[in-house]
Amino acid sequence: MTFRPDRAFNDLPALPPQHDVETKPVLKACIEARAALAELKASGRLIPNQSVLINSIPLLEAQASSEIENIVTTADRLFRFASQTGGSPDSATKEALRYRSALHQGFAMLEKRPVSAAMAVAVCRIIKGIDLDIRATPGTALLNEATGAVIYTPPEGKAVLQEKLSNWERYIHEAEDIDPLVRLAVMHYQFEAIHPFTDGNGRTGRVLNLLYLVDKGLLDIPVLYLSRYIIANKRAYYDRLLRVTAESAWEDWILYMLEGIRETALWSSAKISAIRELLDETGAHIRQDLPKIYSRELAEVIFVNPYCRIADVVSAGIAKRQAAATYLKTLVDAGILTEMKAGRENLYINPALINLLTEDRPG
């Protein structure tokens, strides 16, 4: 096998890799990453209303994963437009929100089927907002952003891509003698190397990573903020991917991914603990100072929806519209929420939660 960056890599080796992927350093790193994931899984279960988490950390993941592809928006804009209210978001925000939708809808798909090539197609369609399929035409090449030089040309030919995706799918579910976290690192490399779509491959692959962790029971919900690590170590991410292709440097790549899982699992656990603490403090504040409107459900709804609308309170079954408006305005008067006009309606913002979610430190 000879790899040339400017030639379609139809000789991409099938899985499993011919090199040992469970070296002693890898297995040691697996233990640490698994422990961190177990802590994250336990932390998530301490918040009874899982919507608080599903509506927060996946948006941070959406922002960072999109930024890796130079689609730049802010977490604050994502939270503002997440419920499709308050005007028309810019194109980058729309695209990042589609990533969040892909993660949510992929999570729902897991109830009917495991991670698969068909799921990859469905996820990429949501991310891109178009009815795409496996690419059939040649001409795809990955370039060095600084120099414009071709650094990788993925395989070509729809039949070739479908065959390689079928092999990829069998490996991630049938290689049960290999630790699932090692399989995740291998599957992510192979998916990126196959590069089955004309665009959206990186984001699709990162959604599949989180869905795979849920699929294998290592997480209950997809709340690992893995793209944060990739953003902070972006050059190493691409360098190690390419070194697997050029040098079969599997160990370095797998260790990179395992460290990313470990570090971001610990970060995500700390962030969830901080969210839970803030939710409890806010609930206690409302109960003590505003007992006439207090309910745990009211405290939770302004965490599920950091940019809350009257309709959110109504749909949560807390109050009818007039009372819901009174409750939210009372929270504004108490300094818990702030209010802003957005078109024909008002948005009620939870600034303490937004600040917590948008600052990089975990808590």
130 contacts: CB under 8 Å, gap ≥ 6: none
Kindly report the pTM of this predicted structure. 0.92
Segment 75-98 mean pLDDT: 79
Segment 160-178 mean pLDDT: 96
- Tens-place pLDDT, residues 245-303: 999 999 999 999 999 999 999 999 999 999 999 999 999 999 999 999 999 999 999 99
Bridge partners (DSSP) listed for residue 347 = 340
Segment 303-329 mean pLDDT: 94
Rounded CA-CA distance 143/150 in Å is: 4
> Are the CB atoms for 152 and 9 separated by under 8 Å?
yes
pLDDT at 79: 82
Confidence of residue 48 (pLDDT cuts 50, 70, 90): confident
**Amino acid at site 19:** H
Q: What structural domains does the chain harbor?
A: 24-268 (1.10.3290.10), 272-358 (1.10.10.10)
168 contacts: CB under 8 Å, gap ≥ 6: 15, 117, 187, 190, 191, 194
First to last CA, the chain: 49
Separation in Å, CA 362 to CA 263, 264, 275, 284: 11, 10, 10, 23
Q: Which two tokens stand for residue 287?
A: 């109960």
Segment 107-111 mean pLDDT: 95
Rounded CA-CA distance 79/296 in Å is: 22
Rounded CA-CA distance 202/200 in Å is: 6
